[in-house]
Amino acid sequence: MRTLVASMLLLAPALIAADLGGTWMQEMAGRGGSQPRKTYYYFKVQGNTFTGSMVSTSDRREVTNGKIEGDTITFESKGPFQDAPQQMRGTLNGEELTIMGAGRGRGPGAPPAGMAGRGPGAPGAAAGRGPGGRGFTPPVFHKISAENKIPADLLPSHKPLPPITSALPPNGLAKTPPMGWNSWNKFRAEVSDKNVREMADAIVSSGMRDAGYIYVNIDDTWEAGRDANGNIQTNEKFPDMKALADYVHSKGLKLGIYSGPGPLTCAGYIASYGHEDQDAKTYAAWGIDYLKYDWCSASGVYTREEHAPAYMLMGKALRASGRPIVYSLCQYGMLDVGEWGAKVGGNLWRTTGDIRDSWDSMSHIGFDLQPGREKFAGPGHWNDPDMLEIGNGGMTDTEYRTHMSLWSILAAPLLAGNDIRSMSDSIKEILLNKEVIAVDQDKKGVQGTRVRKDGDLEVWKKPLEKGVAVGLFNRGAETARMSVKWSEVGVTKKNPKVRDLWAHQDLKAGGEYTVEVPSHGVVMLKVE
């Protein structure tokens, strides 16, 4: 009996090895305006190891280091824009092979959606990322051939894009970091004409408009297909984009929209590939004031050298559209975007993967992943550590105050991501703290930096037109006593004026200040 079991166990890998070689396909129907997607894997098996490739409607990767153990496979998958491969695993159940990322919890600041196996057509997209979907069912692949049968025309082709030779001149917009609201963090695919109008109303009635939150930005999932002339169409959630823009404008607000340089957006909707000029003109005709342009599926079609030029295409198209449109690059900080983001016409660019509504995600992105980027920020061109999660429920008010303070010290865009219609008074107070907003919006336009880090305790400063903003941050689990000397933050005056921007009080302080800072909390000061 023991030998029988042992030999069956030994036989198992050989069985799956024979089964695994060849092409596997997964097909996903389009839902609610997203496009149908196909993903192909080709595995070339040698003994109990394998290599191969993955190509989907919007992505391509090499498969390396494949190993077969019983009915389980593990491998690495790497696209042209990833510095490190993603670990993947699969399980064979009869005729069906499920494939997904190994260790699915995405750490804070982890590789971004489109680049981490969650883009359209990529493994994991099936249920993990579809419109609005937060649950996850691993995609199921079926074997279609023992040969390599990945269709050659799955991804569109193009003439290689020329390298960038000269920078676009500044468009004169976003002299201070853009402020407003964006639908994605809270609403995902639930965004609609109706809730955008309601949000615009609430931005006005809550006082947010008057505090500077001007842009009302529709994120992914508004798109339908194209008409016979190639004009982008809105889906049933947005019956009349021009009328919506008129409404938003009538409230003294501006309207933003979302697309990307690839064939599909991150949620699998039609993007601007091959239609850049046409889309920019359509946006202008609708009255759009802001475009977030998300890389995602462009990994399937462009090379590394074409990455910045692909952003330049839309940068030029927006300039030629005849309407001032803020240009927001969303490519998760790849390829040193700070070095070229402004040259391609960008007013802001994301620096990391997607933020989540958690202390770990927010604090890691804000504290750990921004230092060093300050040299790229200034009036008209900003680093974007992603949209605010304030009010979405995953952090405490203390943590949300830290979020607001840190983003303001970073001169980050302040795009609220909560349901403005129903926010509590305490969340309103955080988003509407005018003294903190003034730090973010300071005309000098300098991104703040860390002055000192003692374990979990960090002191940050942001030079202002008049004086300097100082953040005393406690990332630790216990309340801590923190001190700062004005000389450390560049203030030479003997007895400067010191104000606590959350307590809204002037303080009596000599050459330094000592205060208790709660766990995950902040004391934010203005010293002048």
* Sites for ligand GLA among residues 33-72 (CB under 6 A): none
Burial class (CB in 10 A: 0-12, 13-18, 19+), 114: buried
- Least Å from the CB of residue 265 to ligand GLA: 6
Name the active-site residue from 354, 384, 386, 419: 354
330 binds ligand GLA (CB under 6 A): yes
Which residues, other chains included, contact 228 with Cβ-Cβ below 8 Å and sequence gap of 6+? none
CA atoms within 13 A on the CB side of 329: 35
* Active-site residue, 277 included: no
Clarify whether 294 is annotated catalytic: yes
CA distance 435 to 16: 64
Q: How far is the CB of 355 from ligand GLA (least distance, A)?
A: 8
- Which positions ≥6 away from 273 have C-beta within 8 Å? 156, 261, 262, 263, 297, 298, 301
Distance between CA atoms of residues 124 and 93, nearest Å: 18
CB of 278 to ligand GLA, least distance (A): 22
Give the x/- contact pattern for ligand GLA in 435-474, rule: CB under 6 A: ----------------------------------------
Question: Minimum distance from CB of 315 to ligand GLA (Å)?
Answer: 19
**Minimum gap (Å) between residue 111 Cβ and ligand GLA:** 11
List all residues 6 or more positions away from 269 whose beta carbon is below 8 Å from its beta carbon: 33, 34, 35, 220, 221, 222, 223, 224
Question: CB–CB of 346/329 below 8 Å?
Answer: yes
Encoded tokens for 135: 């649950």
Choice between 21 and 109, CB closer to ligand GLA: 109
Nearer to ligand GLA, 267 or 310 (CB): 267
Select 112 or 448, whichever has its Cβ closest to ligand GLA: 112
Residue closer to ligand GLA by CB (options 41, 283) is: 283
Q: Which residue in the list 59, 193, 279, 294 is annotated as catalytic?
A: 294
> Considering beta carbons, is residue 76 or 294 the nearer one to ligand GLA?
294
d(CA 428, CA 422) in angstroms, rounded, equals 10
Is 223 a binder of ligand GLA (CB under 6 A)?
no
For ligand GLA, the binding residue among 54, 68, 113, 411 (CB under 6 A) is 113
Closer to ligand GLA by CB, 114 or 212: give it: 114
Rounded to a whole number of angstroms, the minimum distance from the CB of residue 337 to ligand GLA is: 13
The number of helix segments (H) and strand segments (E) in the chain equals: 13, 26
The footprint of ligand GLA on residues 257-316 (CB under 6 A) is 265-267, 294
> Angle 198-199-204 (CA atoms, 0-180°, nearest 5)?
100
Residue 13 contacts residue 66 (beta carbons within 8 Å): no
**What is the β-pairing status of strands 179-182 and 414-416?**
parallel
Rounded CA gap, 416 and 423, in Å? 11
Work out whether 112 is an interface residue with ligand GLA (CB under 6 A).
yes
Instruction: Tell me the closest approach of the beta carbon of residue 139 to ligand GLA, in angstroms.
Output: 18
**Could you list the active site residues?**
294, 354
User: Which residues sit at the interface with ligand GLA, rule CB under 6 A?
Assistant: 112-113, 184, 219-220, 265-267, 294, 330, 354
